[in-house]
Structure 1
Amino acid sequence: MKNCIIGLMASAGLLLASAAQASVINFDELDAGGKLASLAKTAPYAGLTWSASWFLGDTTVGGYDNGAHSGNEFVSNGFGVNHLGISSATPFSFSGAWFAAPNTNGSRASWINITAYDSANQLIGSTGNIAISASYALIAANFGNVARLDIARDKGWFVMDDLNVSSGTSVPEPGSMALMGLGVAALAWARRRRQGN
């Protein structure tokens, strides 16, 4: 019985692992060319639609030497925009992103709030206002079935990098279902064989 339970747990783990494909969006395959440039030029990017106020930058831009959490590229909020959106026609899961306030002389954001909505524009959840500083901090979330993220700040500029998303739905791919079916059949066969002895 113990082996049967362990086998079922392993099959379920394989099934869940293959149902979604996690990725970290770090913007490093893009080239900002030493300036802040509209990310809309590359939209959609990484399978997501980015609102027009997202700007791509790199760490050579004056005041943004702390802009990237990893690599050299990052995104920042546009001029005077308080709410920025990230959306997709295909539902995705969002587990967090890294945020900081850049080293600019101008106004800098002191908090970030991420709110998630589903395809019917129903609220999934919100992180609440999370303080940020010149050092990168992870704003974690556990939002599934997301169609749109709204990222708000209190004032000024912020930078974001290493966005953690998972594509896919709760419906497993056919190969995983077949693998799990074979595992269950093998466990049933082994159990019958043991009972016959």
Structure 2
Amino acid sequence: MIQIDDTIISEEILENNFVCNLNACKGACCVEGDAGAPVEDDEVEILEQIYHKVAPYLSSLGRKAIEVQGTAIRGTDGEWETPLINGGECAYVIRNEKGIVFCGIEQAYNEGKISWKKPISCHLYPIRLKKYTSFTAVNYDRWDICKDACTLGRELQVPIYKFVKEALIRKFGNDWYQQLEEAKKLLES
């Protein structure tokens, strides 16, 4: 484990490789599972504010799920998460002509309709954050559906922390990320 400020980081994010392989998994992480993606407290208001700009990108089923449940819901653990369509996929998913799942929020962002990319938990994946009283744990979330991403990451030699660099900087800042890179160098020496 590595400590930077009030975060405790699993060395697994430095040691394991990962690059999403959407051609193989088709975006299964947005479809599989028994809960929506984690949403931070401050992101709940953002989702409410941007929804009218994101809604045109979503499927009719996604819009209906959000209209009934809200832009974010409390999960069984009491934490905020994205709503699901009939207990299945995330209400914010969209598909391309090949059936690959993408994020409707991110599509609106990519087209300049909004200035917020997507929930940080989605941007950070396969990293998951767990907040405790005095620190935040930064861990690698292993999931069977991502085996092709692990294979591609090994082939391309891209460690997890580099794959999610933009998201880590977005969450923790550039100085934090530079300290993480220094910690990696120290572990290699």
TM-score by length of 2: 0.25
TM-score by length of 1: 0.25
**Structure of greater relative contact order (alpha carbons < 8 Å, 6+ residues apart):** 2
Larger radius of gyration: 1
More strand, by proportion: 1
More helix, by proportion: 2
